[in-house]
């Protein structure tokens, strides 16, 4: 894998609105690696890995989210291979359990 690995947290009304499924679909359609999960604080957390421009594009899309979501903030920082490897073995992109 070459390119960017970014660790992203999205806050707002992003749980119970299909946000994780939307992220999974968006990431898979862009050929990205990584994962997405809900957090107990009400936010959604994700890791995206792929070409710099494609990763930047999905982070921008996370600011809009699916129609039923209301995104208040998107915080993106540098990710690493340890975070990326939290995805399920054999999957390019995973929807993980809530933490």
Query: Which amino acids are annotated catalytic?
Result: 20, 38
Dist CA 7 CA 4 (whole Å) = 10
Q: Which residue has the tokens 């898979």?
A: 28
Q: Which residue has the tokens 């921008």?
A: 60
Dist CA 5 CA 1 (whole Å) = 9
């Amino acid at each position: 894998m070459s390119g960017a690995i970014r660790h992203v947290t999205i806050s707002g009304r992003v749980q119970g609105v299909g946000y994780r499924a939307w992220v999974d679909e968006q990431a898979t359609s862009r050929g990205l690696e990584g994962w997405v999960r809900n957090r107990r604080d009400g936010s959604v957390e994700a890791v995206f890995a792929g070409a710099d421009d494609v990763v930047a594009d999905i982070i921008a899309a996370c600011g809009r989210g699916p129609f039923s979501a209301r995104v208040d903030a998107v915080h993106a920082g540098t990710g690493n291979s340890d975070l990326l490897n939290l995805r399920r073995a054999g999957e390019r992109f995973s929807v993980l359990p809530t933490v």
